[in-house]
Amino acid sequence: MESTGETSARQPADAELHRRLVYGDETALAEAYRAYGALVRRVAVRVTRSPGAAEDVAQEVFAHLWSRPYAFDPDRGSLRTWLSMLAHRRAVDWVRSEARHRKDAHADDAALNAIPDASPGPDETVVDRERSLLLHSALAELPRPQREVVHLAYFAGRTYRQAAVELGIPEGTAKTRLRTALRSLAESLADPPDPALERGA
C-alpha cells in the first residue's frame, strides 16, 4: 500500500460509520448508500458509459464495503474518496474485461481486432473513446495522494480548497497535486498506448 505522505484529517463521522459496519449494523450500510450511492454510480457510468454496468459496479462496491469493512481505514482517508476510488478501479476493470471478451469472441477476425474495445456512443468518436479509456486507466494508476484530490475535485465536484480541507492538506498542496496529476494524464496520451491495455489485460 502506498503512503499518503501525511495523515489525512480524520473524519469522526466516518469512524463512527465504520464502527457500525464492523459490528454488523445494516442501517450503517443503508446510510453509506444514501450518502455515496449517487457518487459511486456517477464515477462508474463515466468510465463504463453503461448505466447497467454502473449499477453492477455500485452493487459490488457496497457489498465490498459491507463484507470487508476493514478494507476501509478511517485513519487513512475519507469514506467518500475511498468509495469513489474503489468504484473507479472496479469500473476500469469492467471495461478491460469487456474488452477481453470482445477480443475472444472475435479472435479469428483480424479486421475486428483493429476496432477499439468498448463501442463509442453516437456522440463520441472511436478515437476519443479509446483515448478516454487510456486516460481512466492512467488515472487509476496515479499515486494515491494525487488520486484522492482528483476524485474530490473532479468526480465529487469539490473546489480544490474544499478538497484540501477534506484531506487535511494545505490548499497549495491540493493545487499542486491536481496539476501533477492532470499533466501526467495529458502526457499519457502522448505516449504510445500501453500494450497491456491493448491486450485487454
Residues that bind another protein (CB under 8 A): 15, 18-26, 29-30, 33-34, 37-38, 41-42, 45-46, 49-52, 54-55, 58-59, 62-63, 65-70, 73, 75, 121-124, 128-129, 131-132, 135-136, 139, 150, 153-154, 157-161, 163, 175-176, 178-179, 181-183, 185-186, 189
Alpha carbons 126 and 105: distance in angstroms, whole number: 20
Grid cell at residue 30: 443503508
- Report, in Å, the least distance between residue 120 CB and another protein: 8
Nearer Cβ to another protein (106/175): 175
* Cβ distance to another protein smaller for residue 79 or 163: 163
CB under 8 A, 24+ apart: contacts of 71-74:
72/18, 74/10, 74/11, 74/14, 74/15, 74/18
* Least gap, CB of 55 to another protein (angstroms): 6
Residues 18, 70 contacting (CB under 8 angstroms): no
Quote the least distance from Cβ 78 to another protein, whole Å: 16
* CB 109 to another protein: min, Å: 26
Dist CA 143 CA 3 (whole Å)? 9
CB 46 within 8 A of CB 95: no
Report the interhelical angle of 51-67 vs 79-105 (nearest 10°).
Answer: 130
Taking Cα atoms as reference points, which of 113, 63, 120, 112 lies closest to residue 95? 120
From the centroid of its chain, how far is CA 96?
Answer: 14
Shortest distance in whole angstroms from residue 67 CB to another protein: 4
Using the minimum distance from each CB to another protein, give the nearer residue, 6 or 128.
128
Q: Locate 40 and state its grid cell.
A: 459511486
Q: Which is closer to another protein, CB of 5 or CB of 24? A: 24
Distance CA 54, CA 64 (A): 15
Using the minimum distance from each CB to another protein, give the nearer residue, 65 or 102: 65
Least Å from the CB of residue 144 to another protein: 18
Q: Quick one: 38 or 107, whose CB is closer to another protein? A: 38
